[in-house]
Amino acid sequence: MSSDIEDRLAKCFQLALPSVPPTAVRSASIDTVPAWDSLGTVILMSLVEEEFSIALSSEASEAFVSFQHVLDLVKRHGNASTTS
């Protein structure tokens, strides 16, 4: 299940941040990806909401600093494993 969530989240990252090579997605962070700006975060948050059918609060944007942080955030939402 965890791997499934990771794969789906990786897909979101690849769509929002296409400059990140697929192999580097899981280690991506706002410090290592120059293209990860505020607009990238806006798109990424919407993609994550859509993919996992969750509603993110304003403070959730603070988690959007690395793949791992976003993964933790998604896992904290109970219905995150629901296939969209």
Partner 1 sequence: MKLAEAVSLAKESESCKGDPFRVFVACGFTPQHLTIYLKAHLHARLGRRRVVVEPGRYGDLLLAFADLRHHAAFNAVAVFVEWTDLDPRLGFRTTHGWRPKRLHDIADTAKPRLEQLRRLVEDLAGRVPVYLVLPSLPLPPAFTGPTGKGDCLEFVLREHVMAFARAVSAIPRVSIVNPQRLDSVSQFDNRFDLGAALRADLPYSLEHASAVCQLVALLICPDSPKKGIITDLDDTLWRGILGEEGVSGISWELHRHAHGHALYQELLASLAEIGVMLGVATKNDPDLVTLALSRKDLVISHDQIFPVEAGWGSKSEAIRRILQAWNVGADSVVFVDDSPLELAEVSTAFPDVHCMRFPVDDDRALPGFLQHLRDLFGKSSVTEEDRLRLASIRTSTVHIDRRPGQTSDEFLASIEAEITLVYDAPNERAFELINKTNQFNLNGRRIDTAAWLAKLEEPKRFILSVSYRDKFGPLGNIAVVAGLCLEDELLVDVWVMSCRAFSRRIEFQVLKELFERFDAKSVKLEFTATDRNGPFQEFVEAFGSSDLSRITKAAFVAACPKLYAKVSVHE
Given 9, 25, 47, 71, the residue binding partner 1 (CB under 8 A) = 47
Q: Which helix (H) or strand (E) holds 52?
A: helix 38-52
34 binds partner 1 (CB under 8 A): no
- CA 3-5-8 angle, to 5 degrees, is 110
DSSP 55: -
**Residue with smaller CB distance to partner 1, 27 or 46:** 46
Site for partner 1, rule CB under 8 A? 11-12, 15-16, 18, 39, 42-43, 45-47, 49-51, 55-58, 60-61
